[in-house]
Amino acid sequence: MAAAPVWSVDPRNGKQREQVATEATAADVDRAVTAAHAVRGALADRTVRAAFLRGAAELLDGAKDDLVAEADAETALGTARLTGELARTCYQLRAFADIVEEGAYLDVVIDHPDDTATPPVPDLRRYKVPLGVVAVYSASNFPFAFSVPGGDTASALAAGCPVVVKAHPDHPGTSERVAAVLRAAAARHGLPEDVVGLVHGFDAGVKLVRHPLVTAAGFTGSVRGGRALFDAAAARPVPIPFHGELGSLNPVVVTEAAAAERGEQIGTGLAGSMTLGVGQFCVKPGLVLAPAGAGGDRLLKSLTEAVGATGAGVLLDHRMRDNFVAGVAERAQLPDVSAPVTPGAADEHTVTAGFLTVPAGHLADEGAHDLLLEECFGPVTVVARYTDDAEITAVLSRLPGNLTATVHLSEDEAAGAAGDDRGTRLLAELTPLAGRVLVNGWPTGVAVAPAQQHGGPYPATTSTSTSVGGTAIERWLRPVVYQNTPEALLPPELHDANPLGLPRRCDGRLEH
C-alpha cells in the first residue's frame, strides 16, 4: 500500500495547499533512526558542535522571510509573531553554542585517592556523556521555538545527541524547510546531514519512541498524546527517559488588596495574556481566583471591555477550533457559570475570545464543575470569585501540576509591610503547584535564560527538568565515573592538567 500523503493546510480556510511529504513507514523510521545512530560520533568535537549550532542559527536567520511566510500560511500566527519566534529560536541555538564551548554542563568532578577517608576514596573521575539518538516531537503552537529547530533539538544537539524529529501535522511544510536548513548547516560544518532526521505521521511517532536505538524523547503537546507516548517509552524492553510537556492551567490568584489597588490594570493585563496568540500559549492563564468584592468587580469590568474588544482569530487547525467551540459551550452550560463575554465560534473558520465566571466555592469540592479545572486550549479563561482565603486554599488544593502559578499582590503585601505575611503564605501555597511562580506579572512569555524553568509537576511535565534555558541540556546526558583509570586511557576532559580548560570540581574545590 502506498504511503499516505502529508498535506500542508491553510487554517484560515481549511483548504489543502500542497503535498509536502508522505507519512513515514516503519522502514522509514528505522532508516532515519539507524542513520542518526551511525553518525552520533561525529558530534563528539565540542568546537565543531558549537560552530554547527551557530551556523544553523545563521542559515535560519538568512532564510527568515521564506520560513516565516511558510509558517504563517500553515498556522495563521502572523508574520510579526513568527518573526519574533524565529529570532528567539536562533538566539537559543547560539546560547547553546556558548554553553557547549564553556563546558560547565559536563559537570567534571575529580577526587584523588585518599586512604585516610572512611571508607578510603579511590581515584574517581566523573563527567557526563551524551545518551544517543533523541526523538523530538514538535509542538503545534510554536512552529519554530518548540518544533524542528526548537529547544529540544537545540539542547540535544548541544549535548552531542543526533535527533530524529516527528513533524507536527499543522506545519509539515515549515518542518521540511527548517530540517533542510539544519541539514545544510551540518554539511557546511563537516557533519553528516543525518545528525538531524525528520519523519511524518502519527504511526511514525509511536514507532519512533519504541525504536531500540532511540535513547530519550522530548515532547510538547496534549495530555492524551503525551501520556500515550510516555507509557510507550516506559513499556519498552529498555525504558527510556521521556521529557514531555503535556498541559497546564496556570492558575492566578488576585488578592483583595491588589484588586482594590489596581483592579482595572489587572483586568486589562489578564485580557492581553489570555488572548495572546489566540489563547494558544502553553502558559496561558486558564483559571483566575479573584475577590468577590468591589475590587474584583472593577477587575471584571476592565476584563470585559478588553476581551470584548478583541477581534476574532484563527486557531491552528479546524480540529482545535471544533474542540474549543465544544469545550467552551460545555463549560458555559454548568450551573451558576456566567459568560460576561461569550467565547465560541465567530464563523466556520474563526473563534471569538471570552471568559467565564463561577463562584469559587463550586470548585472547592469534586463535582460537576471539575471540567473548569481542565485546560481549554484557545482564548478563554475562568474567573472564580472567592469570598475568603479558605476558598482560595480549597481550590488550589485541588489543582494538578502546572507550568506556572501567579499571584497579584498589593504594594504593601509585596513589601511585607507591617508584618503582612500574605504574600509569603500565598507563595508557599503556589510553589508546590508549578515550576515557575510569578508575582505581579503574567506567565505568557518564557525567557530563554540560564535560570529559566519551563516544566512543573505532572501533568504539566513528565519529569522535573526544563525544556527552556541552559539546563535543558541535562536531559540528554548521563554521568559516568572512571575509577583508578590510568590517565593515558582517560578522555582529555578528565586529565589532571585540564587541557581543555573546563570548569570543574577537584578534591572538593571549584576550579575555573
* Residue 345 phi, psi dihedral angles, 5° rounding: -80, 135
Strand, coil or helix: 215 = strand
How distant is the alpha carbon of residue 419 from its chain centre? 38
Residue of 53, 97, 110 lying closest to 493 (CA atoms): 110
Q: Side chain identity at 397, as an amino acid letter?
A: S
Exposure on the CB side of residue 74, measured as CA atoms within 13 A = 29
Cβ atoms < 10 Å from Cβ of 21: 20
DSSP code, position 153:
H
Q: Are 186 and 197 in contact (CB under 8 A)?
A: no
Could you list the beta-strand ranges (E) of 53-158: 108-111, 124-130, 133-137
Q: Is 245 a catalytic residue?
A: yes
CA-to-CA separations, 276 to 77, 310, 400, in angstroms, rounded: 10, 10, 23
Summarize the chain as % helix, strand, coil (round to 5): 45, 20, 35
Question: Which helix or strand (DSSP H or E) is residue 254 part of?
Answer: strand 251-254
Catalytic residue among 74, 245, 413, 493: 245
Catalytic residue among 90, 161, 282, 376: 282
Instruction: Report residue 169 as a C-alpha cell.
Output: 501535522
List residues with catalytic annotation: 245, 282
